[in-house]
Structure 1
């Protein structure tokens, strides 16, 4: 087995937290795509075109579609999705390492540094836990939205029944 010198000093627990966060966010992105398919009634090649768009575009498209239909989805959902996407990008695109025994991530899009310095962010276990809890709550809300959309096709009014967690 080949040893990866870039991750050799990263504890297995941190690697698992990174993988867990990325996996969870993948479920969020998948749910957004499926919601767009549901709202727009997409089939076949239309689905492929939608799925190939960027996650930020999925949020904008779904929000626009729901607003056009008169569905009043709380802005908190869209804010949470943006915050989660920003953290996911740092987690997924960043270069991870340990600095003074602390998990640290550098992502040049966020931390340019200088010609002689590297700027990174400490990413504690508490920060991972906050990400995961927010992602789980948001995913639950998206699934509730999906169920409400499906039920509305049969005349059910979801607006009063579906609310995000406080």
Structure 2
């Protein structure tokens, strides 16, 4: 279970990293702006990146899926990374995230997290990573010789 948690958090970290670096390029960021962008949360980063492609640009990504799926993945990553993990009496992985599962004054709920959920997270995460890497790859040829984005947006 620990390896699955680590794999999920690591994959999502790669996604966040590519989003941050892509926003740096798109915004021709200086050091101060780079620091500001690096501090935003994943959902905000997805929203800012999406804004550059609204109306949708011809970048070859599966536009209809990518943005909502990225936000859903961020929610799942928060559960994985911030939850308290247990194995119940049957051996099933169970996660408690107090801010999400507080039901009453004296009861905190838990959620089962079977292997298929980790597998689904990894499949979706790999898809999102590939789509964002595609976007980032499209930008490289349009950069000037100094690694700056063309002026405009």
Relative to the length of structure 1, the TM-score reads 0.77
Residue by residue over 1:64-117, the C-alpha shift from the partner in whole angstroms, topping out at 9 and shown as x without a partner, is 12327x625613111111111010000011111011221000112221133443
Q: Distance in 1 between matches of 2:25 and 2:87?
A: 43
Higher RCO (CA < 8 A, seq sep 6+): 2
Match of 2:88 in 1: 99
Q: Distance in 2 between matches of 1:53 and 1:136?
A: 22
Give the superposition deviation at 1:153: 5.1
Give the superposition deviation at 1:40: 1.1
Q: Cα RMSD between the aligned structures?
A: 1.8
Match of 1:90 among 79, 82, 86: 79
Match of 2:113 in 1: 123
Match of 1:66 in 2: 53
Give 5+ residue unaligned stretches, structure 1: 1-13, 155-166
Indicate whether 1:35 and 2:22 are aligned: yes
Match of 1:75 among 64, 73, 96: 64
Q: Check conservation: 2:98, 2:108, Cα contact below 8 A.
A: no
Match of 1:141 among 131, 135, 144: 131
Give 5+ residue unaligned stretches, structure 2: 145-153
Give the superposition deviation at 1:152: 4.6
Give the superposition deviation at 1:119: 1.2
